[in-house]
Amino acid sequence: MRKIVIDLAELKKLGELNRDKNIKFRMFLKSRDGKSLDENVHKLYEKISEQIDCTRCGNCCINLSPPLTNKEIDILSRHLNISSKEFEDTYIELDEENCKCLSKIPCIFLKDKICSVYEIRPTECAEYPYLHKKGFSSRLLGVIENYSVCPIVFNVYEELKILYNFR
Ligand code: SF4
Ligand code: SF4
């Protein structure tokens, strides 16, 4: 396996530089067998995520706005000792699909690169960057977006290019 990249400035630069290639690779992956692609992604995810310490990164919480369910809004507002309405008025905005998302970037719960509500964090946060899930090929647009944000996604995508001999 190549040396993994964890430098966030490097990731951003390579995200712009490799954008066209990443889109072509997306088309290539969409023509592969989805089941074996998922198996390869799961193995790479396991191998790469154990080499990356999220508590020294936090870049997803600095750049993304996770969608919350009403139940999660209740839980987080109770944590802050405010009403759900106050929480929504202050910290929530609707995205283009009308989902209620945390509006402040970086996330208000991020303290020194660590989630201060880790035990009660929203499901979307717990599942990010989604590489343990099935259906990788149906989420490739999001993968390309996350390629320049998350070192785990970046390195999994680069390893896939090598595995599938994509140039
Ligand atoms: S709730 Fe926690 S995990 Fe989710 S974005 Fe905020 S700091 Fe990150
Ligand atoms: S999931 Fe990715 S972006 Fe988020 S903290 Fe971990 S390595 Fe960083």
Residues 140 and 112 placed together within one structural domain of the fold: no
Distance CA 18, CA 11 (A): 10
Does 155 score more than 90 pLDDT? yes
Domain that holds residue 27: 8-60+129-163
Residues 29 and 106 placed together within one structural domain of the fold: no
Q: Whose CA is nearest to atom 4 of ligand 2?
A: 60
Structural domain includes residue 53: yes
Structural domain includes residue 144: yes
151 lines ligand 2 (CB under 6 A): yes
Give the residue-averaged pLDDT of 49-77.
96
Distance CA 145, CA 8 (A): 14
Structural domain includes residue 1: no
Q: How high is the pLDDT of residue 109?
A: 97
Q: Quick one: what percent of the chain has pLDDT higher than 90?
A: 97
59 lines ligand 2 (CB under 6 A): yes
Give the residue-averaged pLDDT of 113-142.
96
Strand partners of residue 100: 94
Residues 102 and 139 placed together within one structural domain of the fold: no
Does 7 score more than 90 pLDDT? yes
Give the residue-averaged pLDDT of 25-44.
97
Structural domain includes residue 112: yes
Give the residue-averaged pLDDT of 38-48.
98
Residues 37 and 74 placed together within one structural domain of the fold: no
Residues 50 and 69 placed together within one structural domain of the fold: no
Give the residue-averaged pLDDT of 16-27.
97
Residues 71 and 111 placed together within one structural domain of the fold: yes
Domain count for the chain, please give it: 2
Q: DSSP letter string over 37-78?
A: HHHHHHHHHHHHHTT--GGGT-HHHHH---B--HHHHHHHHH
Distance CA 126, CA 118 (A): 8
Report the residue among 91, 121, 128, 130 best suited for mutation to probe ligand 1: largest number of ligand atoms under 8 A from its CB.
121
Q: Which atom of ligand 2 is nearest to the CA of 151?
A: 7
Structural domain includes residue 3: no
Does 1 score more than 90 pLDDT? no
Q: Which atom of ligand 1 is nearest to the CA of 124?
A: 4
Q: DSSP letter string over 100-165?
A: EEE-SSS-TTEETTEETTGGG--HHHHHTT-TTSS-GGGGHHHHHHHHTT-HHHHHHHHHHHHHTT
Which tokens is 97 given?
Answer: 């699909």
Q: Which atom of ligand 1 is nearest to the CA of 118?
A: 2
As to burial, measured by CB atoms within 10 angstroms (0-12 exposed, 13-18 middle, 19+ buried), residue 26 is: middle
Residues 115 and 90 placed together within one structural domain of the fold: yes
Q: How high is the pLDDT of residue 2?
A: 83
Residue 150, C-beta contacts closer than 8 angstroms, at least 6 positions apart: 57, 59, 60, 128, 129
Residues 73 and 46 placed together within one structural domain of the fold: no
> Is the pTM for the entire model greater than 0.85?
yes
Distance CA 110, CA 88 (A): 18
Residues 35 and 77 placed together within one structural domain of the fold: no
Strand partners of residue 101: 67, 93
Residues 141 and 111 placed together within one structural domain of the fold: no
Q: Whose CA is nearest to atom 6 of ligand 2?
A: 54
